[in-house]
Amino acid sequence: MSTQLEQTGQADFEETTAPLRGELIAHCYRMLGSASEAEDLVQETYLRAWKAYHRFEGRSTVRTWMYTIATNACLTALKQQGRRPLPSGLGGPPGDPRQPVVEDRSRDWLEPLPDQLVWGRDAVPVDPADATEAAEGTQLAFMAALQELPPLQRAVLVLRDVLQFSAAETAAALDTTVASVNSALQRSRATIGEGLDRAGRRVSELTAHDREVFAAFCDAFERHDIDAVVGVMTEQAVWQMPPFDRYYVGREDIAALIEHQCPARVGGDLRMLPVVANGQPAVGMYLRGPDGAYQQFQLCVVDLRDGVITGVVGFFDGDAFAHAGLPEQLPATG
């Protein structure tokens, strides 16, 4: 009898909580800045929730309860982790594109969040409106701004401003007072400024012209037309490539960076596979090897607003390709 009851409880638990998995991954990513760690913390959240499910009394919604468990799991993890910056967040000047790039593996960098990881094969299909809401607050510029906040302030800002929890719900989730929540929210807003407003547009917000600009950007790289690559950027566009520790500002320097540092030399050396990451347009860039096959090179997440590219972050991390559901290599062409 006890086994049957346990099976019934587990089935009920899975039916009730499974639809939340995707948005919980997005939430843990906001807190941690790491897609891989977000996956791990969501697994831990479900384990903790299952162990406590028999004590759930319905005083809050299951969604609020799961977010409470996930948030506190993230806060525990953040005690052992520093902030995850992008190169522009280190406080140094822009790099010289003619000097060799330097890797810095001594720190943890902000990672991308491919939408495939959130809404892929392991996630329950969601309504498009739910997917849009879950993607809110995962854009790279906002994520970089979140890294400037202490963990508790980060949690308060995410719960209140992104997830629209009430002050009372937030206080209950964090085991604190409404006054403390309001104070933390005020401080976090002052620190982060208009971080979310500065973020690039989500794919769902792109106009037809925006999409043409993104397609032109990808095509220009495949043709190795550097002038065309930077031609769709603003004058003060920013290019970053963690774990390389510099950033580059302006069309001229970005063009020089591609010319001097990119191993691609002629048209056909690169192939581009568009994806979505952080809710934004992104592309897996593949570099042609000696055998003619194309190997993973970098996953670029693009800030695109009003028909122009304002920034690109290229991530040299194989996990990013795997999370995006992209192949390890592409076959030789022709």
The whole-number pLDDT of residue 56 equals 85
Q: How confident is the model at residue 127 (pLDDT cuts 50, 70, 90)?
A: low
Matching residue, tokens 């910056």: 85
The whole-number pLDDT of residue 270 equals 98
Rounded to whole angstroms, how far apart are CA atoms 38 and 40? 5
Lowest mean pLDDT among 34-38, 119-123, 205-209, 269-273: 119-123
Q: How confident is the model at residue 129 (pLDDT cuts 50, 70, 90)?
A: low
Q: Is the confidence at residue 110, as pLDDT, over 50?
A: yes
The whole-number pLDDT of residue 58 equals 74
Cβ within 8 Å of residue 212, ≥6 positions away: none
Q: How confident is the model at residue 200 (pLDDT cuts 50, 70, 90)?
A: confident
Cβ within 8 Å of residue 113, ≥6 positions away: 25, 26, 29, 35, 38, 138, 277, 278, 323
Q: Is the confidence at residue 195, as pLDDT, over 80?
A: no
Q: How confident is the model at residue 121 (pLDDT cuts 50, 70, 90)?
A: very low
Task: Give the pLDDT mean for 60-83.
Answer: 94
DSSP structure class, residue 197: T
Cα-based torsion angle of the residue sequence 192, 29, 154, 136 in order, rounded to the nearest 10 degrees: 50
Q: How confident is the model at residue 196 (pLDDT cuts 50, 70, 90)?
A: low
Q: How confident is the model at residue 123 (pLDDT cuts 50, 70, 90)?
A: very low
pTM (2 decimals)?
A: 0.92
The whole-number pLDDT of residue 88 equals 95
Rounded to whole angstroms, how far apart are CA atoms 309 and 313? 11
Rounded to whole angstroms, how far apart are CA atoms 71 and 153? 12
Rounded to whole angstroms, how far apart are CA atoms 82 and 60? 32
The whole-number pLDDT of residue 6 equals 57
Task: Give the pLDDT mean for 196-214.
Answer: 87
Percent of the chain with pLDDT over 70: 91
Rounded to whole angstroms, how far apart are CA atoms 199 and 210? 15
Q: Both tokens of residue 307?
A: 């028909």
The whole-number pLDDT of residue 132 equals 58
- Assess contact for 27 and 136: CB atoms under 8 A: no
Burial label, 110 (beta-carbon count in 10 A; 0-12, 13-18, 19+): buried
Fold classification of 203-330 is Nuclear Transport Factor 2; Chain: A, (3.10.450)
- Assess contact for 260 and 98: CB atoms under 8 A: yes
The whole-number pLDDT of residue 131 equals 56
How many Å separate Cα 249 from the centre of its chain?
22
- Assess contact for 315 and 240: CB atoms under 8 A: no
Tens of pLDDT, residues 267-324: 999 999 999 999 999 999 999 999 999 999 999 999 999 999 999 999 998 799 999 9
For the chain, the straight-line distance linking the first and the last C-alpha, in angstroms and rounded, comes to: 65
Q: CATH 3.10.450.50 spans which residues of the chain?
A: 203-330
Q: How confident is the model at residue 10 (pLDDT cuts 50, 70, 90)?
A: confident
Task: Give the pLDDT mean for 79-92.
Answer: 92
Q: Is the confidence at residue 126, as pLDDT, over 60?
A: no
Which residue, 278, 275, 279, is CA-closest to 324? Answer: 275
DSSP structure class, residue 36: H
Mean predicted lDDT score pLDDT of the chain: 91
